[in-house]
Structure 1
Amino acid sequence: MTTLSRVPINPQLRQGRRLLTNPQAMHAAVLSCFPQDTHTDTSRVLWRIDQVEKAFTLYIVGPEIPDLRVITEQAGWPSRPGQSTDYVPFLDRLMAGQEWRFRLSANPVKSIPSMDGSRGKVVPHVTREQQVNWLVTRAAVHGFELLGDTGDDAKHHVTVTRSEDLRFRRGESTRPVSLRRAQFDGALRVTDAEQLRASLQQGIGRARAYGCGLLTLAPLRS
């Protein structure tokens, strides 16, 4: 079973502000919604924060139904409890040729090869053009193509609607973690339904524990 959940986050609460500004804290809070023996073979635990003006919504994809009270009681509103739905019926309806609106939060990076043959250095893509090209080159591997980048229906295109640099500490480590998170919005066409299902459940790219990798789809309207 795979579930899709949503939880409104209250930025007026201290814990709400902490979760919104600290990916490590949010990661821990999201994991605490699932039993420790949760199996992630089919679907891993992914999360993303969407912001519309001053409203913040946490989206979670996971392998079973989470106990969202863990987050709602500390960082949300009791009058607006989180909601979870079975994701499988939607995933099963995906077919090649379908067109969808999408949103993806990701960590677009590139690897710079080392001169001595050792492991290369991973650095973030900085400009929005670089970030869009990063997604364009990976779309096919994840079962879709971006509308507008193939010359079809040019009014639908992918844009980076948000880009931010995050810096936080992981656990008790004194060394801070730095990553760049970009939000992509656009339209896509399904090319490989099986692969797209896997991407929706397993995520795309790096830093998936820290609010990156979660792709969601919505009806494409004119």
Structure 2
Amino acid sequence: MTTLTRISLNPARRQGVKLLTDPQAMHAAVRSAFPPDISQTDARVLWRVDKRPHEHVLYIVGPEKPTGAHIVEQAGWDTRPAQSADYERFLSALTRGQRWRFELVANPTYSEPREGKRGKVKPHVSARNQLNWLYKQSERAGFCLAPRIDDTVADEERARWNVADQPQVLERWTDVFRRDKKSRNAPPVRISKARFVGTLEVTDPDRLRTTLTQGIGRGRAYGCGLLTLAPVK
């Protein structure tokens, strides 16, 4: 049973600070919430941290209900236990034409051609290029986005959307960390991240279900790729 779990994190606790600032530590904590032998065929283990003015929330999608008690005990509040919901009920209700507000933290990248060699993966760092990446991803992820100013679309299509629907890059940053803390000679891992918000329209429910359970783009073990949907207000 695919689940969506929500855990409130306490930034005033030492372990809370560690999880909020070290993607490797968070990766280990999230992965240990699931048995080591779980199958990730139907759903991959994905996570994302949302930092709001008065709350820090960890979201986890996985193929079964995680045991989040250790995260709550070390980095949360005893009065705020992990909350898990059956995600499959929501996924099965997706239909073509629905609109949802979305949020996504992703690692937008491209392949730089090299003569005679495999292309080198490099990050998109400008908001414009990151948004272009998102539009390209949407074509195979089961949804469409509001047309941009320079997109060639029919007037009828443009009229179906408004300014508030336009996707935006809320923030951009780069996480720098080490996978192996004991190996000082190993180069640090750098993952460029962008947080997207906006409105999407479902074009292919099956593909979107796969996107919601398998993630988008690279860096999915380290807090990237988890797309979440909420009703349009």
Fold-level similarity (TM above 0.5): yes
Q: Which residue of 1 aligns with 2:56?
A: 56
- For residues 132 and 64 of structure 1, the distance between their equivalents in structure 2, rounded to whole angstroms, comes to 32
Q: Which residue of 2 aligns with 1:163?
A: 172
Judge conservation of contact 1:105–1:181 (CA < 8 Å) in 2: yes
Q: Which runs of 5+ in 1 are unaligned?
A: none
SS in 2 for 1:165: strand
SS in 2 for 1:113: strand
User: Does residue 159 of structure 2 align to residue 154 of structure 1?
Assistant: no
Q: Which runs of 5+ in 2 are unaligned?
A: 149-156
Q: Which residue of 2 aligns with 1:113?
A: 113
TM-score normalised over the length of structure 1 = 0.96
Q: Which residue of 2 aligns with 1:84?
A: 84
- For residues 133 and 79 of structure 2, the distance between their equivalents in structure 1, rounded to whole angstroms, comes to 41
User: Does residue 198 of structure 2 align to residue 186 of structure 1?
Assistant: yes
Most deviating of 151-160 and 54-63: 151-160
Shift of 1:177: 0.1
User: Does residue 189 of structure 2 align to residue 177 of structure 1?
Assistant: yes
Shift of 1:148: 4.1
- For residues 34 and 124 of structure 1, the distance between their equivalents in structure 2, rounded to whole angstroms, comes to 30
User: Does residue 212 of structure 2 align to residue 212 of structure 1?
Assistant: no
- For residues 46 and 211 of structure 2, the distance between their equivalents in structure 1, rounded to whole angstroms, comes to 11
Shift of 1:153: 1.2
TM-score normalised over the length of structure 2 = 0.92
RMSD: 1.0
Aligned pairs for 1:3-14 (under 5 A) are 3-14=3-14
- For residues 179 and 111 of structure 1, the distance between their equivalents in structure 2, rounded to whole angstroms, comes to 15
Aligned length: 220
Q: Deviations over 1:29-71 (max 9, x none)?
A: 0001111111111001000001111411000000001111010
Shift of 1:210: 0.4
Identity %: 52
Q: Which residue of 1 aligns with 2:141?
A: 142
Shift of 1:79: 0.8
SS in 2 for 1:181: strand
